[in-house]
Chain A
Amino acid sequence: MEASERRTRFEERVRIERDFLVPINQRFGSRAPLAGMTEAAIFSWEKRAAELVGEIDVPRVAELLREAARRAELLADNSRDVFTADRRVGPDGLATLRRMLEEALT
C-alpha cells in the first residue's frame, strides 16, 4: 500500500468523532463542549449539558452518542491504536444514528 493511501484506524476514528461532535457542539459548544466519544467524555458532557436550561433531551442525545460509540468501538481509550493500520470502522447503522441525533437536537 502506498504511504499516501494508508489510512489508520485513528484517521477513521477522527472522521467518526467529528461527524458526531460537530452537531452537538453547534448547540452546546459555547457552554458545555463535548470533547470526545469515550464513555467518560460522554458522561462528563451529559452532566454539564443537563445543567443548561433548554429543550433538548440531553439523556436521549447522550444515549445516541453511546450507541454510536459502541458501534464504532470508540468507547474505550484506544489512544495506542493510533499506529494500528486500518481495520475499517464502518459499522452499519452509524448514518441512521447520525440522523437520529440531528432530530434529537432540533
Chain B
Amino acid sequence: MMDNLLGVYIFGSVARGERDALSDLDLLAIVADGRGKVPEDVVLRYVPPQLREMEASISWYGGNRLAEMFRNGELFAWHLHQETKPIFEREQVIAALGKPAPYSGACEDVASFEKILRAIPHQLITSPKNAVYELGLVYVCLRNICMAASAVLCGRPDFSRYSPFALGGMLPIPLSRNEYETAMACRMAGQRGIMPPLDVTPAKVTDIYDRLAPWITALRHRLEIKHGGIGETNEV
C-alpha cells in the first residue's frame, strides 16, 4: 500500500507563504497508476507538525494524468509547477515533469466561467433562496477567470486568493473587497461547511453580477486580442 504513494506535496496559500485564518492545507498526493488511493492518514503523516492543526484538502492524481496535464499546459499544471513544495517523495515526480507546455487555454477557460456566470440572473429569479450558492459561484468563477487572465496579461499566473484585485492592464474591478470576501465566505460555506453569511439577498447578488459582467466581457476581449499564454509570448 505504501509503495503506491509516489509523493506528497504542499501547494496553495501555505506553499505561497500566504497562510491566513481562511487557509486550508492543500496537499497533492501522487499515486501509482492503476493502483488506487492510499488511506488518507498515510498521506497526513508526512505533514509537518506545525501544519497538522490545519484542515487538509487532498488532491489525488496518478502519474499519467499529471504528466498529461503538464503536456497539455493546463493551468493547474502551472499552479503545481510554480508552487509545490515536497514533504515526501519516493521519486521526484513534479521536478521530473519539468516545465509544463505553454498555457494557451485562457480565452476558452474564461468563456467557460462566463457561461456559468451568465446563468446566475435567471437562477436568482427562479430560485431566489439559492442566493448563497450563486454568490459562491461568483467568487470561484471570478477568481479563476482572473487566474487565467493573469497568465496572459501579467506574464505569470497569479494563483492568490485576491488575484482579481491585482490584475494589471485592466480598469479596477467594480467590486469592493468586502463584497468579494462575502462571496468568498459563501463559497467556503459550500466547500468547507462554515456558517453561510446571513445577509445575502438575490438583489445583492444581482447587483454584483450586473457590475461584474461587463468588466469580465472587456477582460475576455482583451485576452482575445492578446491571445497569448505563458510559455509562449511571456516566458515564466
B76 touches A84 (CB 8 A): yes
Minimal Cβ-Cβ distance residue in B for A40 = B193
Q: Which residues of A contact B74 (CB under 8 A)?
A: 83-84
B76 touches A83 (CB 8 A): yes
CA distance A3 to B127 in the complex (A): 29
Asked whether any CB of chain A lies closer than 8 Å to the CB of B84, the reply is no
CA distance A37 to B57 in the complex (A): 15
Asked whether any CB of chain A lies closer than 8 Å to the CB of B228, the reply is no
CA distance A3 to B112 in the complex (A): 8
Minimal Cβ-Cβ distance residue in B for A42 = B193
Residue among B105, B129, B136 with the highest chain A CB neighbour number at 10 A = B129
B127 touches A25 (CB 8 A): yes
Minimal Cβ-Cβ distance residue in A for B57 = A77
CA distance A6 to B115 in the complex (A): 11
Asked whether any CB of chain A lies closer than 8 Å to the CB of B167, the reply is no
B57-85 interface code vs A (CB 8 A; 1 in, 0 out): 11100000000000000111001000000
- Nearest-Cβ distance from residue A41 to partner chain B, whole angstroms: 5
Instruction: Identify A36's interface contact among B108, B113, B131, B133, CB under 8 A.
Output: B133
Which of A27-35, A60-68, A92-100 is the contact stretch?
A27-35
Asked whether any CB of chain A lies closer than 8 Å to the CB of B96, the reply is no
- Nearest-Cβ distance from residue B174 to partner chain A, whole angstroms: 23
B127-171 interface (Cβ within 8 A of A): 127-133, 136-137, 140, 144, 148
Asked whether any CB of chain A lies closer than 8 Å to the CB of B191, the reply is yes
Asked whether any CB of chain B lies closer than 8 Å to the CB of A79, the reply is yes
Q: Across the A-B interface, how many residue pairs have beta carbons closer than 8 Å? A: 104
B186 touches A35 (CB 8 A): yes
Q: Which residues of A contact B112 (CB under 8 A)?
A: 6-8, 10-11
A80 touches B191 (CB 8 A): no
CA distance A90 to B192 in the complex (A): 24
B79 touches A40 (CB 8 A): no
Known interface pairs A41-B189, A77-B192, A80-B59. Does A35 touch B116 (Cβ–Cβ under 8 Å)? no
A40 touches B130 (CB 8 A): no
CA distance A10 to B74 in the complex (A): 15
CA distance A45 to B194 in the complex (A): 10
B140 touches A82 (CB 8 A): yes
CA distance A15 to B137 in the complex (A): 12
CA distance A14 to B148 in the complex (A): 19
B199-221 interface (Cβ within 8 A of A): none
Q: What residues of chain B have their CB less than 8 Å away from a CB belonging to chain A? A: 24, 57-59, 74-76, 79, 105, 107-109, 111-113, 115-116, 123, 127-133, 136-137, 140, 144, 148, 186, 189-196
Given contacts A33-B132, A35-B136, A43-B193, 8 further A-B contacts (CB under 8 A): A6-B112, A7-B112, A10-B116, A14-B116, A17-B190, A29-B128, A40-B192, A84-B76
